[in-house]
């Protein structure tokens, strides 16, 4: 990640450094294809202002159907960063912004119906199963032993 570390020695001849485009190689917990562009302006020997943008896509797993989908990102970077050991780590700022931008419950589309409780098929608007969604009897048969165990636990807990 050395490309995203700016040193005070980079500002010897100028107060502005501009990085056109850099392919981000950090670790944010998923596959991604992200590019970072930024400008660093020296405010003082202890502070540098960084502005720019992060563009690209992350590949997330839908929490309804478990399919991998591409989630586009475009994040603006505006930060005053303090110099530590005569340098700043813009890569860490980028990583934190990316983590904050990740959805808590990723969903591939608003029309995703998730996985069928009966047949297990991934249901999309264009490709859904024909199972009867009101067929709870089949589901109860499938999980009968577990439901019996749960009822036994509930009875035991009520007695206490």
Asked if residue 68 lies in contact with residue 84, where contact means CB atoms within 8 angstroms, the answer is no
Tokens read off for 43? 């405010």
Q: Find the range with the poorest average confidence among 36-40, 46-50, 104-108, 139-143.
A: 139-143
pLDDT at residue 66 tops 60? yes
The ranges assigned to domains in the chain are 2-101, 114-159
What are the pLDDT digits (tens) for 110-137?
A: 888 888 776 777 665 556 677 765 556 6
User: Would you state the structure tokens that stand for residue 135, as one six-digit string?
Assistant: 């067929």
CB 58 within 8 A of CB 32: yes
| 40-48 average pLDDT score | 86
Model pTM?
0.68
Q: Is the pLDDT of residue 45 over 70?
A: yes
3-state SS of the chain?
CHHHEEEHHHHCCCCEEEEEEEECCCCCCCEEEEEEEEEEEECCCCEEEEEEEEEEEEEEECCCCCCEEEEEEEEEEEEEEECECCEEEHHHHHHHHHHHHCCCCCCCCCCCCEECCCCCCEECCCCCCCCCCCCHHHHHHHCHHHHHHHHHHHHHHHHC
């Amino acid at each position: 990640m050395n490309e995203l570390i700016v040193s005070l020695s980079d500002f010897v001849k100028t107060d502005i450094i501009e990085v056109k485009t850099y392919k981000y190689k950090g670790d944010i917990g998923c596959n991604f294809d992200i590019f970072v562009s930024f400008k660093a302006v020296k405010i003082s020997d202890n502070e540098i202002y960084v502005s720019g943008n992060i563009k690209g896509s992350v590949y997330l797993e839908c929490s309804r159907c478990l399919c991998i989908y591409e989630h586009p990102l475009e994040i603006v970077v505006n930060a005053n960063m303090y110099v530590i050991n005569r340098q700043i780590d813009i890569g860490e700022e980028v990583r934190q912004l990316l983590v904050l931008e990740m959805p808590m419950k990723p969903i591939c589309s608003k029309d995703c119906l998730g996985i069928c409780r009966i047949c297990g098929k991934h249901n999309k608007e264009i490709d859904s199963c024909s199972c009867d969604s009101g067929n709870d009897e089949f589901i109860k048969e499938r999980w009968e032993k577990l439901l019996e165990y749960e009822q036994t636990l509930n009875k035991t807990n009520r007695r206490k």
